[in-house]
Structure 1
Amino acid sequence: MKYPVHITSEIGELKTVILHRPGKEVENLTPEYLKRLLFDDIPFLPAIQKEHDYFANALRNRGVEVLYLTTLMEEALNSNEIREKFVDQILTESKSNINGAWKNLRAYLLSGSTKELVEKVMSGVLKTDIPSEKKIHLYELMSDHYPFYLDPMPNLYFTRDPAAAIGNGVSINRMQERARKRESIFMDYIMNYHPRFANHQIPKWFTRDNRFAMEGGDQLVLSKDTLAIGVSARTSPQAIEQLAIQLFKYQDQFTKVLVVEIPKSRAFMHLDTVFTMVDHNKFTIHPAIQGPDGNMRIFTLEKGEQENRVKITEGNNFSEALKAVLNLDEIILIPCGGGDPIASAREQWNDGSNTLAISPGVVITYDRNYVSNEVLRNHGIEVIEVQSSELSRGRGGPRCMSMPIYREDI
C-alpha cells in the first residue's frame, strides 16, 4: 500500500477497517442517563461483545484487515509527552475542572499503563473510582449526585461517525451532540502519532475544531470524483460547504459534492441510515425520505470561479442526480422492507438500509432485517447476515460500526 488511507468508493473491495469492540462504557449506562448518552436501551455486555466478534470475523473471513480503535490508540500514545497532552485535552474538553477534580483525575488517569488509560477514558471515570482520602477539598467531597467525573462513551462502537476516509485523506469530524464530541479525539491522535499514519502527512479535509458539525454517517464516497453528504440533524450545510472548499482547493480527484437533505429525526439520524450503495448501480433506500415522484432537496457543489467559493446547482430528483454524478443510464433503488409500510418502518428502526459493502454486490447486514435482506437477494446482492439483538440497541447498523480506511479502486 502506497498510502495507509485510500477510499475512492463505497463498494470497492474492502481491505482495512477500524472497529471498536464494545467495552465497559456500555455497562456504565443507566436508565436515568440514557438520553444524555444517546441510547434508548442498555445492551448486555457479554452478548454485544459476542455479536461484535461475529461481525469482525465475518469481515476477516472475506480477507479484510480489522484494526481496533483501542489498540491503535495505545500505540499512538507512545511517549509520556503525548500521554500527558492527551489527558489534558480530555480533561479540558470534558470540563472536568468544574468540580475541582482536575488534579486527582489527571493523576488517576496517568497512574497505570497506556492500555488502562485508554480504557478509563473510554469507559468513563466514576466518582467512586477516586478514593475518598484523595479528595482534599470540601467541594470534592460534597459534589453533586451525578456519578461520573468523566462520562462514558458508549457510542464508540459506531466508528463511522467521528472520522471518515475520503480519497487519501480524512475528515476528523466535529460531532453534533455533547455525548459524542470527544470521540473524534482518538482518530486525531491516531493520525498524528501512530507509526502507521504519522509519517505520511495524511491530509485533513475537515478538522474537529471547526465551528460547524459534521458526522461520518452522512459522508458517502460514491465514486473517485464524487462525495455525497447528507444535511441531517447531525451535519450542517455550513460544514459541508467548508469541506467541499478544502477538497477542491487541495486535491484534484474529487470534483463534485452531492448534498442531500434528509428529515431531521432520530429514525433518520444520518444519510447512511436511509441510503447506502451496494453495487455499481444499486442502492438501498428508505422510501420515506422521498417526496412525490422521488423529489427531495438536492444540491451539487463544484469548484467555484473565485477562491474559497463553490458553484451550486440545485435539483430535486434523487435518482436523476445520482445518475448524473455517476454517469449511469439507470440506477436501482432497493426499498427498505420491500416498501411495505410496516416492514419498512420496523426494519428502518433497526437499520435495514444501513449496509456495509465489502465488494461490489456483497454486503453485511443485520440478521433481524430479514425482509430487507430478502429483497436485496432478489436484486442479485450477496447478503452476509450478522447477529444483532444487542448491537442494534445502539441505533446503528454494520456501516455505522465500521470505518473503512482502505478499499481497492473499482
Structure 2
Amino acid sequence: MSEEYTSHSEYLPLDKVFVMPAREAFRNEKKALAEWRSLNFTSVPKIQKAFDEYEGFHKTLTDSGAELLYFTGEESLTLDAIYCRDASIITDQGVILCRMGKVLRQGEPASQQRSYESLNIPILGQIEPPGTLEGGDVAWLDRHTLAVGHSYRTNPSGIEQLTGLLRPMGVEVIVVQLPHFRGPSDVFHLMSVLSPIDRDLAAVYSPLIPIAFRNTLLERGYQLVEVPEAEFDSLGCNILATGPRRCVMAKGNPVTEQLLLKAGCQVSTYEGNEISVKGGGGPTCLTRPLRRKI
C-alpha cells in the first residue's frame, strides 16, 4: 500500500471501495422468495424497490468522491452477498479471506477472492477451519489497533489466526466479548454496536457494549454518540464514514442523525428498508472499503 493510502482505518477519506450491487445479489423475485426465511430476513425484499434503493445508495457513495469497484455475483451466492464487508478484511499487505460463521454464506470468500485476483490485489491469507471470522466483527480503532468481536459469527480460532496474520505488521488486536443478545441466528456483529466516524468520535449502542471495551474507547479519547434503543433495529448504529465526520446512514434514525450533526458531522442518508433493514445490514455492511487517503 502506498504511503498516501491505508486500509487500516474506518474514517479517513474513502478512496476505493468494493460493493456488491443489489441486482447481482438479489437478482429476482424468485430468488428472494426462496431464500429470505432461511437467511433470517425480517420479510421478503421487494425486488424492484430494492434495486431503486440501491441506486440511491450507489449515488451517495459516488457523490462522496470514492471510486467504486464491483464484486461479481454468482448463482451459488445468496441474498446476503450484498453485505460484502463480511467475507474479507483488507490490510496494507493484502486481503485476508474470512471463513463465514453463517453456513449459508460460506461461498462468499472464494467468490471475492476471484474478484481480487482479477484486479491483482494480493491475498495475504485466509481463515481456516475450525476458525470463523466475519468482517462485520472487525473495526480499526487506529492504524495499529484492530477491535475484533468474539461473537456467534467469529470464534476464538478465527481471532487467533487473524492475530497471527496481523502481528508482523505491528497491529494490536483487542478482543471484544459480545453478548448472547438474540442468539446464534441473529445478525449481530461488533459493528452492529460500534461505528467509528473520526479519530475521536464513534457512534455506539452502549446497552450491548461490554463495559471494559466502552471504557477502552473513552480512555482513547473517543466522544461517544449514544444511539437510542428506538433506533437500534433501524440500524442507527451502523454508519459508514466516508471521511472524518462525513458519514452515510440509513434513513429513519432522526435522533442519531441530529446527534451526529451536533457533533459536527456531515450526514448523508439513503432509503434502505429493502436492502438494509430487512437483512440487518447497514452501509458498513454494504461496502468493503479497499483503501482510504491518509
Per the normalisation by structure 2, the TM-score is 0.90
Using the TM superposition, give the Cα deviation of residue 208 of structure 1 relative to its aligned residue in structure 2, in angstroms. Answer: 4.5
The one of the two structures with greater contact order (alpha-carbon pairs below 8 A, sep at least 6) is: 2
Match of 1:13 in 2: 13
- Aligned: 1:373 with 2:292: no
Choose the corresponding residue for 1:49, options 48, 51, 71: 51
1:62 and 1:213 mapped to 2: Cα distance? 33
More helix by share: 1
- Aligned: 1:321 with 2:216: yes
2:273 and 2:39 mapped to 1: Cα distance? 20
Q: In structure 2, what residue type is equivalent to 1:406?
A: R
Match of 1:159 in 2: 84
2:34 and 2:58 mapped to 1: Cα distance? 31
2:241 and 2:208 mapped to 1: Cα distance? 21
Q: Deviations over 1:146-167 (max 9, x none)?
A: xxxxxxx101110110112123
Verify the 8 A CA contact 2:193 2:205 in the aligned structure 1.
yes
2:44 and 2:215 mapped to 1: Cα distance? 42
- Aligned: 1:203 with 2:124: yes
Verify the 8 A CA contact 1:284 1:335 in the aligned structure 2.
yes
In structure 2, relative to structure 1, the CA distance for the partners of 1:350 and 1:41 (3 Å cut) is same
Verify the 8 A CA contact 1:16 1:407 in the aligned structure 2.
yes
Matches within 5 A, 1:247-286: 247-248=166-167, 251-254=168-171, 256-264=172-180, 265=182, 269-286=188-205
- Unpaired runs of 5+ residues, structure 2, are none
Matches within 5 A, 1:73-222: 119-122=74-77, 153-192=78-117, 194=118, 196-198=119-121, 201-204=122-125, 207-222=126-141
Verify the 8 A CA contact 1:159 1:403 in the aligned structure 2.
yes
Match of 2:248 in 1: 364
Q: Deviations over 1:107-151 (max 9, x none)?
A: xxxxxxxxxxx55344xxxxxxxxxxxxxxxxxxxxxxxxxxxxx
Q: Deviations over 1:344-369 (max 9, x none)?
A: 2x321121100000001111001111
Larger gyration radius, structure 1 or structure 2: 1
Choose the corresponding residue for 1:383, options 262, 267, 283: 267
Q: In structure 1, what residue type is equivalent to 2:120?
A: F
In structure 2, relative to structure 1, the CA distance for the partners of 1:268 and 1:48 (3 Å cut) is closer
Q: Give secondary structure in 1 for the equivalent of 2:146.
A: strand
Verify the 8 A CA contact 1:22 1:156 in the aligned structure 2.
no
Give structure 1 regions of 4+ aligned residues with deviation exceeding 3 angstroms: 28-35, 118-122
1:335 and 1:268 mapped to 2: Cα distance? 21
Verify the 8 A CA contact 1:230 1:261 in the aligned structure 2.
yes
Match of 2:162 in 1: 243
In structure 2, relative to structure 1, the CA distance for the partners of 1:45 and 1:271 (3 Å cut) is same
Per the normalisation by structure 1, the TM-score is 0.65
Using the TM superposition, give the Cα deviation of residue 6 of structure 1 relative to its aligned residue in structure 2, in angstroms. Answer: 3.7
Match of 2:225 in 1: 334
Matches within 5 A, 1:292-331: 296=210, 317-323=212-218, 328=220, 330-331=221-222
Using the TM superposition, give the Cα deviation of residue 66 of structure 1 relative to its aligned residue in structure 2, in angstroms. Answer: 0.8
Verify the 8 A CA contact 1:221 1:227 in the aligned structure 2.
yes
Root-mean-square deviation (CA), in Å? 2.3
1:289 and 1:261 mapped to 2: Cα distance? 10
Choose the corresponding residue for 1:223, options 142, 151, 164: 142
2:191 and 2:254 mapped to 1: Cα distance? 19
Match of 1:395 in 2: 280
In structure 2, relative to structure 1, the CA distance for the partners of 1:51 and 1:34 (3 Å cut) is closer
Match of 2:66 in 1: 64
2:192 and 2:76 mapped to 1: Cα distance? 28
1:30 and 1:321 mapped to 2: Cα distance? 41
Aligned residues: 288
2:237 and 2:88 mapped to 1: Cα distance? 21
Using the TM superposition, give the Cα deviation of residue 38 of structure 1 relative to its aligned residue in structure 2, in angstroms. Answer: 3.0
1:52 and 1:323 mapped to 2: Cα distance? 35
Q: Give secondary structure in 2 for the equivalent of 1:238.
A: helix
